[in-house]
Homo-oligomer: A and B are copies of this chain.
């Protein structure tokens, strides 16, 4: 009862049986007689014994650890993603080893190295782009790698991502429907691949309709950046529509438009966002936006974790648009 944990050996001694008996008692399907099992359980209870899953994983070669790496964990979107993911993992008896990539935003390679050292069974990347070498090492070591909203140009990696292009097209169509003549497209300065896809798909669509597009990007993906974008862009009175590639940006933009630049939304200016974070539905905002269905996205991630040989490596999650009040 001293420092440290109780071992199976001690339980065996107390119960007057062999250590094997203890092990078998705690192993489903182990061959143990009723009386022995009772004695073992009693001794274990009294001593406060718990199986050491680290040692367990040592010969099983199954650590049951799933590495999750991402940055911006406190943003509404990512945090919800992490919330759902961690619940799903727990339900499946998997443990979530969380690595915050805030320090190494650019290069998440060392973090993944760390996960290798912990023998993570699989690695889920919420944000950030792993270098190709890491991907190679993952398959070499039999570690499943799952990228969320990240599109890598190789067929041997699991990717689950929202249909950004289609979402951008939806946004474009909505702004066209609102009869906008000159629109802004707002993204952050971090230029994540997902954001780039949204910007380019949107721009392309608008160009094909001969509608002028003004691109703005800067700062982190935050409310404040959106606010700044609004203050700067809306000096141009002819802009009557905006697609913000993230709700956070959109809400900042919306506040700038209404409270700083004297615009009336949606009469004067139509705004469409992307993600559908909870705040987009708050009464003060009522943002019209493209919905990333986080639950189905998470579900696909978990499924990719389960199945031994995933049928599809690239899974596109369809997006929809929720109509609220910020687009005419």
**Bound Cα distance A256, B284 (Å):** 10
The answer to whether B99 touches A54, judged by C-beta atoms less than 8 angstroms apart, is: no
Chain A interface extent, by class: 35 or more
Which residues does chain B contribute within 8 Å of A1, judged by CB atoms? 140
Confirm or deny: A142 has a beta carbon within 8 angstroms of a beta carbon on chain B.
yes
Given A223-B282, A259-B284, decide whether A83 and B54 contact each other with a Cβ distance below 8 A.
Answer: no
Q: Considering residues A61, A258, A282, which has the most beta carbons from chain B within 10 angstroms of its beta carbon?
A: A282
Nearest residue in B to A85 (C-beta to C-beta)? B100
The A127-155 residues at the B interface (CB cut-off 8 A) are 137, 140-142
* Binding stretch for chain B, among A10-18, A36-44, A71-79: A71-79
How many chain copies does the complex carry?
2
- Decide if B279 touches A259 in the complex (CB within 8 Å): no
Within residues 72 to 127 of chain A, which ones have a CB less than 8 A from any CB in chain B? 72-76, 79-80, 82-83, 86-87, 90-91, 95-100, 102-103, 111, 113-114, 116-119
Known: A50-B116, A54-B54, A72-B83. 6 other contacts (CB 8 A): A5-B119, A51-B117, A74-B79, A76-B76, A79-B82, A90-B111
